[in-house]
Structure 1
Amino acid sequence: MDFLPEKLDDYVVAHSQDEPKLLKELNRETWQKVLNPRMLSGGFQGRVLSMIAKLIQPKNILEIGTYTGYSALCMAEGMQSDGVLHTIDKNEELYDLQRKYFDKSTVGSQIIQHVGNALEIIPKIDEKFDLVFIDADKSNYSNYFNLVIDKMNSGGVILSDNVLWSGKVIEKLNPKDIDTAALLEYNKLMNSDERIETVLLPIRDGLTISRVK
C-alpha cells in the first residue's frame, strides 16, 4: 500500500541521501538470491534508520529481525566507535550472507549475530541498550517490547517497523488475522505505556519511534 502518490514518493526519495555503495551491493544481492526481498528496509528507510542512529549515537544496539543485515548496517553507521550491535534472526540460512556484508563493513567485529528464538535470546544478553529496532514476527511485538523495556537506558529509543501493516490497521479486522490483531494491540500499548513517549510516522509501512523516559 502506497501512503504517498508515486510522483511525490519519488521526489522524497530523490531528495534524500543515497544509500552507500556497500548497501547497494547488499540490496542487489538480496533481490537476486533471497526469498521475500521486500522485507529489506531499502534505501530510503535505511537512510532514516541511519539518521536516527547518528542523532542518538548509541553505544549498544539491539535488532530483532536481521533478515540480510541491511538495517543493522544502517544503524551501525551512527554507533559509537566502541559500540556493539546485537542482531537476532531465526533463519540460520541467512547467517553467512549477513556475515559477508558485516565483514565488508568497517564495524564487522562489533556486530554480534544470534540465531534462534528472540524471546529466549533477549533475556540472555546482559546489556543496557540505547537503540532497539523491532522488525520480526508481528504476533510477538508486544512480547519483544516487554522484554526490552527494562533493558533500555533512559533516553533510549525503540523503533518498531511495519506498524501500519499495509493499511490493515484501519480496515475491518478479520478474526483469523493474528498479525493485524497483534499490531493493533501493540500500537495501543506504545501509545499508552507511561514509560515511553511515542510518535508513529507514516514512513513506508509505518515506523514507530518510542523514547524511553
Structure 2
Amino acid sequence: MEILPEDLQLYLDTHIDAEPEALQKINRDTYLKVLKPHMLSGHYQGRLLSMLSKMISPKRILEIGTFTGYATICLAEGLTEDGFIDTIEVNPELEETLRGNFSLTNVEKKIRLHIGPAAAVIADFDDQPFDLVFIDADKKNNLLYFDLILEKVRPGGLIIIDNVLWKGKVYGDASDTDTKLIRELNDSIAANPQVEKLILPVRDGVLLIRKR
C-alpha cells in the first residue's frame, strides 16, 4: 500500500534514477508468478534502500525477509568491494527463484542466502558486527528481530524496518492483533535511548534507526 497520494507518488517515481534492467525483470516476474507480489519493495523504495546503503558503504549487511530478492539486490549495490549481505528467507520454495534472480546481477557473489527461521539463523552468526540491517519479514516478530540484532550492529550502524505505518492503521483506531504489534514495535523503539529513530512515509512506512 502507498501512504502518499497517487499523483505525488507518480511524481516521485519519475524524478529518481531509473530502475535497473535486472530489477525491472524481477519486479515484472514477481507480479506474474509469485503470491502476494505487493510485498516486493519496488522501484521507489528500492532506490531509497540503494541510496542509504551507498551512503554508509557497508561491509556487512543483514536482511531478514528476502522474498524475491529485489531489496537484497538494492542493498548490495552499496557494499564495499569485499563486503557481503546475509539474507534470510523462511520459505524454501523461493530458493530457486532467488538464486535465479541474483544471477541476473553483478552483485550475485556478494549475496549469502540462508533458508530457515530468522531467529535460528541469527543465533548462528559470529560476533562480527553488521553495518546495516533491513527487517522486512513476518511483522509479528519485528520486535523480536530488533532485539536479537541490536547488539550485533556496530555503533553508528543503521537498522531499517519496513511496513511500520501498516496501511495507516497504526495512527487510527484499528485494534486488530497485527496493528497492535506494530504499534508496540514503534512505541518500544521510540522510547529506546540506545538508538536515534525516524519514520519515513515511504510506501507502507519505513523506520530508520541509527545505533548510538
TM-score strictly above 0.5: yes
Separation in 1 of the partners of 2:5 and 2:145?
Answer: 33
| 2:111 partner letter | I
1:44-123, aligned counterparts within 5 Å? 44-123=44-123
Q: Shift of residue 22 of structure 1?
A: 0.6
Q: How many residues align?
A: 211
Query: Does 46-55 or 7-16 show the bigger shift?
Result: 7-16
| 2:89 partner letter | D
| 1:148 partner letter | I
Instruction: Give the equivalent residue in structure 2 for 1:143.
Output: 144
State yes or no: 1:124 paired with 2:124: yes
Separation in 1 of the partners of 2:168 and 2:97?
Answer: 31
In the alignment, is the contact (CA less than 8 A) between 2:4 and 2:202 conserved in 1? no
Q: Once the two structures are aligned, what percentage of the paired residues are identical?
A: 46
State yes or no: 1:191 paired with 2:175: no
Instruction: Give the equivalent residue in structure 2 for 1:27.
Output: 27
1:3 is paired with a residue whose SS is coil
User: Is there any run of 5+ residues in structure 1 with no aligned partner, and where?
Assistant: none
| Structure-2-length-normalised TM-score | 0.97
- Greater relative contact order, per chain length (Cα 8 Å cut-off, separation 6+): 2
User: Is there any run of 5+ residues in structure 2 with no aligned partner, and where?
Assistant: none
Separation in 2 of the partners of 1:52 and 1:136?
Answer: 19
Separation in 1 of the partners of 2:68 and 2:2?
Answer: 24
In the alignment, is the contact (CA less than 8 A) between 2:4 and 2:201 conserved in 1? no
Deviations 1:140-182 (A, max 9, x none): 01100000000001110000000000011012232xx221111
Separation in 2 of the partners of 1:114 and 1:2?
Answer: 30
2:209 is paired with a residue whose SS is strand
State yes or no: 1:41 paired with 2:48: no
Instruction: Give the equivalent residue in structure 2 for 1:180.
Output: 179
Q: Shift of residue 57 of structure 1?
A: 0.6
Query: Does 70-79 or 107-116 show the bigger shift?
Result: 107-116
1:106 is paired with a residue whose SS is coil
Query: Does 36-45 or 97-106 show the bigger shift?
Result: 97-106
Separation in 1 of the partners of 2:31 and 2:45?
Answer: 16
Instruction: Give the equivalent residue in structure 2 for 1:208.
Output: 207
Deviations 1:193-212 (A, max 9, x none): 11110000101100010001
